[in-house]
C-alpha cells in the first residue's frame, strides 16, 4: 500500500467542529443542567421528571426537535436572575461530577489529534454557551459556540440571545464563524451523531458521523461520509487519518 504523503501546511485556519451531546459525551448535557437546578431548589419535581424523560428518550432513540426545543428553553429559563459568575462556578461543579464521567474518551482523543495538527477545535452545540465553554476550557479546546442567554449587568434575564444552536441554525452559525476566520471549509472537519446536524456536516470537506442515529447513518452511507463507531480500533484509525491526511496549519512565529 503506497504511503500517504500529508498535504503541505496551510496558512489559513482549519476548524474541527464537534457536537457535544452523544458525540463528545453520552446523553444530553441539558439534562444535567436541569438536575443541578433541582439540587439548588430552582425547579420542581415535575420539571426534573420532564428532564429525566428527555434524557431517557434521547439515549434510546436520539434527538426529537420538539422535545429538544422544550428541554433547551426550560434549561435556559433556569438561569434567569443568576449572575454569570455564579453559573460559571455551577458549570465547573457540574463538569467534575456530571460531564467528565460521561465523556467518550475516544472522541476526546480525536479533539487532541486535531489540536496537534494546529487546528482550532470548537464545540458547537445547543447547550448553553456558558456550560459549553466550561467543557471546552476543561478539555483544553479552542472554544465553544453554544446557545446564548441575554445578560444585563452580568445577570441573566432568561431570554434567548438569538436562536437555539440547532439544525439549520447551527450550520448558519458555523458558516458565518468560518468565514469570519477566513477558514477554508473544504479543509475543515465536523463530527456529530445526529441527523439534525446534516446541514453542519454538509458544510465541511471532512464529515465524520460518530455513534450515528439511524437517519444520519443512512445519509452518511448514501453520500460516502466517514462512519465512526465508538470502538477502539475505529477511533485509532480515525486518529491515524487525521495525522496522515489532514492538512496541518503553519505555526505563526
| 89 carries an active-site annotation | no
240 in Cβ contact with 2 (< 8 Å): no
Active-site residue, from 19, 98, 197, 213: 19
How much helix, strand and coil, in percent to the nearest 5, is found in the chain? 50, 20, 30
Active-site residue, from 21, 98, 193, 197: 21
C-alpha cell belonging to residue 223: 453520500
143-147 and 120-128 beta bridge pairing: parallel
| 193 carries an active-site annotation | no
CA gap 36, 16 in Å, rounded? 30
CA gap 210, 27 in Å, rounded? 13
Instruction: Tell whether the torsion through CA atoms of 201, 26, 128 and 138 is positive or negative.
Output: negative
b/e per residue 168-178 (b: at least 16 CB within 10 A): ebbbebbeebb
Task: Please identify every residue annotated as catalytic.
Answer: 19, 21
Amino acid at each position: 500500500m503506497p504511503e500517504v504523503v500529508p498535504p503541505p501546511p496551510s496558512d489559513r485556519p482549519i476548524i474541527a467542529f464537534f457536537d457535544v451531546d452523544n458525540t463528545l459525551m453520552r446523553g444530553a448535557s441539558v439534562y444535567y443542567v436541569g438536575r443541578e437546578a433541582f439540587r439548588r431548589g430552582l425547579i420542581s419535581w415535575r420539571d426534573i421528571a420532564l428532564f429525566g424523560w428527555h434524557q431517557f428518550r434521547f439515549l434510546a432513540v436520539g434527538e426529537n426537535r420538539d422535545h429538544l426545543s422544550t428541554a433547551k428553553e426550560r434549561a435556559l429559563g433556569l438561569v434567569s436572575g443568576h449572575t454569570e459568575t455564579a453559573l460559571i462556578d455551577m458549570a465547573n461543579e457540574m463538569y467534575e461530577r456530571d460531564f467528565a464521567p460521561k465523556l467518550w474518551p475516544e472522541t476526546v482523543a480525536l479533539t487532541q489529534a486535531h489540536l496537534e495538527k494546529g487546528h482550532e477545535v470548537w464545540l458547537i452545540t445547543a447547550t448553553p454557551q456558558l456550560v459549553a465553554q466550561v467543557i471546552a476550557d476543561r478539555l483544553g479546546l479552542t472554544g465553544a459556540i453554544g446557545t446564548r442567554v441575554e445578560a444585563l449587568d452580568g445577570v441573566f434575564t432568561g431570554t434567548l440571545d438569538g436562536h437555539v444552536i440547532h439544525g439549520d441554525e447551527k450550520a448558519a452559525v458555523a458558516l458565518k464563524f468560518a468565514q469570519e476566520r477566513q477558514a477554508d471549509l473544504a479543509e475543515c472537519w465536523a463530527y456529530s451523531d445526529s441527523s439534525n446536524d446534516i446541514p453542519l456536516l454538509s458544510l465541511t470537506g471532512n464529515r465524520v458521523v460518530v455513534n450515528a442515529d439511524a437517519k444520519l447513518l443512512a445519509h452518511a452511507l448514501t453520500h460516502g461520509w466517514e462512519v465512526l463507531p465508538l470502538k477502539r480500533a475505529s477511533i485509532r484509525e480515525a486518529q491515524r487519518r487525521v495525522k496522515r491526511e489532514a492538512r496541518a496549519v503553519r505555526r505563526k512565529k
